[in-house]
Chain A
């Protein structure tokens, strides 16, 4: 089976994929198809029944589902072909996609592919959390799908594990559905989002315990309690009827992995250049799968930016065959968890975006960019909470003369 080739096939109908699709059409790309494995496009925001979404995109604050509906409506109005219940199971070289749907398996051809499959929260298993395996253990996204999409309350007194923005979102979701979280625990010594945000659990009397390790989840059938070792070394048993594992996002990279595209172990997502191009020159990436994790608004803007580059490339007849582009690597040095993009090409299209950086833990001091011979190219002062996205600007830097790898490192304040 096969159909007429598309100009661009987009995999994933979240904010990044939808905004890219809309932008491609706005720039005159004729045949844009978006493949979404779910029953509806919209991505994660579909089950985040809470604000804030949409400030950057629509200039107003929306709930997730309203925001998702708007994006989908805009894509349809722009003439994007949205194919739901379509799972892309493989992308091959030369723009070949293998797609599974209720019609069976199809091969689909596209001049360019954009993968925007998003990110998910780490599971209890991935975190190797000890104990029994009762019912009532889930991620924030699953909780939100329970209450907002299915109208069901899975527990009444859960423990929240994690202290990122999404963990605070979990508190709000709970409180608006008669669920009272008994506590929030964080294994790291510090909360992972900005301290100021933790006024919320304080006001709602949800104790926040940092430096606390889970010794065991208890309960044969359903969760009955969680055994903890607190920061001061004492052990305690918290009675609860559920556990929410929040945050510690990992890219949804199964498709990229199955398609043998090069991944960066630091992000768990694909290795890309500043245009979002991956190891196959015809395949681009955008959204949370390249940088776990950013707001929907950021992913939306990134989808647009990458779409602009794809549109320009398709319009430029000399380049309509995708080509490997030479580039320098950007290496995440001391104190840093990752730097995206992992590669800067010499190709001139578009402006160089900021480097998107995450530190290992809280970052206070200077970020220093140097070249292969150790010459410092730029330094930027920084003070950020552990999971906070950090931007390192490349604006005005002339990298044309740099042929060696670049290294970004964190020099902590003494």
Chain B
């Protein structure tokens, strides 16, 4: 049992990108913070499996809180990224039209972009599109160019938020899912498998379980999560040469559609699908959908017919029965919800955190003072286009050859202030075993290097 100690100002439920950003914002504003996460590590839900695009909000609903949060999140990311050594891949995005009807919709998309303050968006003719992206299928008609849509490292960014929160005193508890809760009129008593915690307020950032956590806390829920699965195929690095710009489809009412984009790690990614499902714990990949994604990629860029597949994965969007974010609160109980952060949360997280902190601070006279000179812990670079550890002398050799991860990087991750709790966490912090051989060469070695250092080991404990 953990000794949870004195009541904290804010208990955050869930350490996805939203929970991590929330922990940072509240800590920066001087609040005492605890994060309770059910999984062994941060980013174990929707936040581990997205397209990694930092969106401008060009196609978000005009005037929405979502748009506000996305743009605030985008701006703050750009402000802090150099301090934290967080990369961007400056790609821009093309919303490409492949038919008459799609081409006819581009002007209205441009209008929406301008209305949303994305002033540099502009239409490109077929010739301009082809000049920019010569490998596109011959049937491309025209496109909307959105220059400031960029690719980021979807794992290092939230890790940086969490690490700063931790450096400011926030406590992260893993394998500590909220089981039940009671409000005594003054304090929350939050029960987890690791013990009971008392807090003056609770922030629900539980993603796919946002509605059930809300019920646990306040007895009912204003919304219902409707999981929407997105599957992806990652092509080998050799495929990345065929495309520079993020390729977005003309959106439909239901989804942003299938995207073809580079990743910050030097691969090419196609996805996601948008599949409604009941199951909340089943981000499985399925054959017809993977085949469809590959066919789609080849249709967009015919040269991909020869491309090798490096990885496949799926994520569950925490969508709700309505399109908009579910940001609401019960101030008298100190309850705040950041739920239903469906498909733009990576971009919006820093903005959502500011928004929720704003609500939280409204009728609060107590609480700490904002931190004036917060600690900044730059992250090791994992982006392919920037210098990596293996390029610098003095490392002790490469462990993962496909992704060129050094032993020094593995050790640094394992001994960092917020070390990985499982193999997935180590992969997200270093890229190890994420490459074309998927551990053919290095898995056994990684098992030995991590022995006794992950709360969920690679090999079952009993068999050591």
Show the binding face of A for B, using Cβ within 8 Å: 37, 39, 47, 85, 87, 100, 102-105, 120-121, 123-126, 128, 130-133, 135, 138-139, 141-142, 145-146, 149-150, 152-156, 216, 220-222, 241, 250, 254, 257-258, 265, 268
Collect the chain B residues with CB atoms within 8 Å of residue A121's CB. 440
- Our pick among A85, A104, A152, A221 for the contact of B393 (Cβ within 8 Å) is A104
Contacts A/B (CB < 8 Å), 15 sampled: A87-B404, A102-B393, A102-B397, A103-B393, A104-B391, A120-B437, A128-B285, A128-B312, A130-B285, A133-B313, A138-B443, A145-B443, A146-B444, A149-B444, A254-B436
A100-B391, A102-B397, A132-B282 are known contacts. Are A125 and B439 too (CB-CB below 8 A)? no
- Our pick among A102, A139, A146, A250 for the contact of B395 (Cβ within 8 Å) is A102
Write the nearest CB–CB distance from B427 to chain A, whole angstroms. Answer: 11
User: Across the interface, do A257 and B238 meet the contact criterion of CB distance under 8 Å?
Assistant: yes
Collect the chain B residues with CB atoms within 8 Å of residue A146's CB. 443-444, 447, 459
Collect the chain B residues with CB atoms within 8 Å of residue A130's CB. 284-287, 290
Q: 1/0 per residue B397-433: CB within 8 Å of A?
A: 1100110100000000000000000010000000000
User: Across the interface, do A135 and B458 meet the contact criterion of CB distance under 8 Å?
Assistant: yes
Collect the chain A residues with CB atoms within 8 Å of residue B447's CB. 146, 150, 152, 154
Collect the chain B residues with CB atoms within 8 Å of residue A220's CB. 281
Q: CA A47 – CA B392 in complex, angstroms? A: 29
Write the nearest CB–CB distance from B137 to chain A, whole angstroms. Answer: 20
Number of B interface residues in the complex (CB < 8 A): 49
Show the binding face of B for A, using Cβ within 8 Å: 234, 237-238, 281-287, 290-291, 306, 308-313, 390-398, 401-402, 404, 423, 436-441, 443-445, 447-448, 456, 458-460, 463-464
Q: CA A125 – CA B282 in complex, angstroms? A: 17
Q: CA A67 – CA B281 in complex, angstroms? A: 47
Q: CA A105 – CA B439 in complex, angstroms? A: 25
Nearest B-chain residue to A105, judged by Cβ? B391
User: Across the interface, do B285 and A126 meet the contact criterion of CB distance under 8 Å?
Assistant: no
User: Across the interface, do A265 and B306 meet the contact criterion of CB distance under 8 Å?
Assistant: yes
Collect the chain A residues with CB atoms within 8 Å of residue B312's CB. 125, 128
Collect the chain B residues with CB atoms within 8 Å of residue A154's CB. 444, 447, 458-459, 463
Write the nearest CB–CB distance from B363 to chain A, whole angstroms. Answer: 41
Q: CA A145 – CA B282 in complex, angstroms? A: 31
Collect the chain B residues with CB atoms within 8 Å of residue A152's CB. 444, 447-448, 459, 463-464
Q: Work out how many contacts link A and B, with CB atoms closer than 8 A.
A: 121
Q: CA A316 – CA B222 in complex, angstroms? A: 84
Write the nearest CB–CB distance from A233 to chain B, whole angstroms. Answer: 17
Q: CA A5 – CA B443 in complex, angstroms? A: 36
Write the nearest CB–CB distance from B440 to chain A, whole angstroms. Answer: 5
A39, A104, A130, A222, most chain B CB atoms within 10 A:
A130
Q: CA A139 – CA B437 in complex, angstroms? A: 9
Write the nearest CB–CB distance from A87 to chain B, whole angstroms. Answer: 6
Collect the chain B residues with CB atoms within 8 Å of residue A268's CB. 308
A121, A156, A222, A254, most chain B CB atoms within 10 A:
A254
Collect the chain A residues with CB atoms within 8 Å of residue B285's CB. 128, 130-131, 133
User: Across the interface, do A39 and B390 meet the contact criterion of CB distance under 8 Å?
Assistant: no
Write the nearest CB–CB distance from B376 to chain A, whole angstroms. Answer: 28
Collect the chain B residues with CB atoms within 8 Å of residue A104's CB. 391-394
Collect the chain A residues with CB atoms within 8 Å of residue B393's CB. 102-104
User: Across the interface, do B287 and A87 meet the contact criterion of CB distance under 8 Å?
Assistant: no
A-B contact sample (17 more), CB < 8 A, given A37-B398, A104-B394, A123-B437: A85-B397, A87-B398, A87-B404, A102-B393, A120-B437, A120-B441, A121-B440, A125-B309, A126-B309, A130-B284, A130-B287, A131-B285, A135-B458, A141-B441, A146-B459, A153-B463, A254-B238
Collect the chain A residues with CB atoms within 8 Å of residue B313's CB. 133
Nearest A-chain residue to B312, judged by Cβ? A125
Q: Which 5 A-B residue pairs are closest in the complex by CB-CB distance?
A: A145-B444, A104-B393, A123-B438, A146-B444, A85-B397
User: Across the interface, do B402 and A254 meet the contact criterion of CB distance under 8 Å?
Assistant: yes
Collect the chain A residues with CB atoms within 8 Å of residue B444's CB. 47, 142, 145-146, 149-150, 152, 154
- Our pick among B284, B287, B456, B463 for the contact of A221 (Cβ within 8 Å) is B456
Collect the chain A residues with CB atoms within 8 Å of residue B438's CB. 123-125, 139
Nearest B-chain residue to A141, judged by Cβ? B440
B392, B437, B439, B464, most chain A CB atoms within 10 A:
B437
Write the nearest CB–CB distance from B239 to chain A, whole angstroms. Answer: 10
Q: CA A100 – CA B458 in complex, angstroms? A: 29
Write the nearest CB–CB distance from B97 to chain A, whole angstroms. Answer: 30
Q: CA A104 – CA B306 in complex, angstroms? A: 33
A102, A120, A221, A265, most chain B CB atoms within 10 A:
A102
User: Across the interface, do B284 and A142 meet the contact criterion of CB distance under 8 Å?
Assistant: no
Collect the chain B residues with CB atoms within 8 Å of residue A87's CB. 390, 398, 401, 404
Nearest B-chain residue to A258, judged by Cβ? B238
User: Across the interface, do B311 and A125 meet the contact criterion of CB distance under 8 Å?
Assistant: yes
Write the nearest CB–CB distance from B188 to chain A, whole angstroms. Answer: 29
Collect the chain A residues with CB atoms within 8 Å of residue B283's CB. 132
User: Across the interface, do A156 and B463 meet the contact criterion of CB distance under 8 Å?
Assistant: yes
Q: CA A139 – CA B458 in complex, angstroms? A: 15
- Our pick among A123, A135, A257 for the contact of B440 (Cβ within 8 Å) is A123
Nearest A-chain residue to B443, judged by Cβ? A142
Collect the chain B residues with CB atoms within 8 Å of residue A105's CB. 391
User: Across the interface, do B401 and A37 meet the contact criterion of CB distance under 8 Å?
Assistant: yes
Write the nearest CB–CB distance from A138 to chain B, whole angstroms. Answer: 6
A103, A121, A154, most chain B CB atoms within 10 A:
A154
Write the nearest CB–CB distance from A253 to chain B, whole angstroms. Answer: 9
Q: CA A232 – CA B290 in complex, angstroms? A: 25
Nearest B-chain residue to A153, judged by Cβ? B463
Write the nearest CB–CB distance from B462 to chain A, whole angstroms. Answer: 9
Write the nearest CB–CB distance from A84 to chain B, whole angstroms. Answer: 8
User: Across the interface, do A125 and B445 meet the contact criterion of CB distance under 8 Å?
Assistant: no
Q: CA A149 – CA B237 in complex, angstroms? A: 30
User: Across the interface, do A102 and B396 meet the contact criterion of CB distance under 8 Å?
Assistant: yes
A47, A103, A128, A153, most chain B CB atoms within 10 A:
A128
Q: CA A266 – CA B357 in complex, angstroms? A: 58
User: Across the interface, do B287 and A128 meet the contact criterion of CB distance under 8 Å?
Assistant: yes
Collect the chain B residues with CB atoms within 8 Å of residue A221's CB. 456
Nearest A-chain residue to B406, judged by Cβ? A102
Collect the chain B residues with CB atoms within 8 Å of residue A39's CB. 397
Collect the chain B residues with CB atoms within 8 Å of residue A120's CB. 437, 440-441
- Our pick among A135, A153, A155, A216 for the contact of B284 (Cβ within 8 Å) is A216
Collect the chain A residues with CB atoms within 8 Å of residue B441's CB. 120, 141-142, 145
Nearest A-chain residue to B234, judged by Cβ? A125
Write the nearest CB–CB distance from B364 to chain A, whole angstroms. Answer: 39
User: Across the interface, do B284 and A131 meet the contact criterion of CB distance under 8 Å?
Assistant: yes
Write the nearest CB–CB distance from B114 to chain A, whole angstroms. Answer: 41
Nearest B-chain residue to A147, judged by Cβ? B444
Collect the chain A residues with CB atoms within 8 Å of residue B286's CB. 130
Write the nearest CB–CB distance from B262 to chain A, whole angstroms. Answer: 16
Q: CA A125 – CA B437 in complex, angstroms? A: 10
Nearest B-chain residue to A121, judged by Cβ? B440
Collect the chain A residues with CB atoms within 8 Å of residue B237's CB. 254
Q: CA A241 – CA B462 in complex, angstroms? A: 13
Q: CA A131 – CA B237 in complex, angstroms? A: 24
User: Across the interface, do B287 and A150 meet the contact criterion of CB distance under 8 Å?
Assistant: no
Nearest B-chain residue to A131, judged by Cβ? B284
Q: CA A102 – CA B398 in complex, angstroms? A: 8
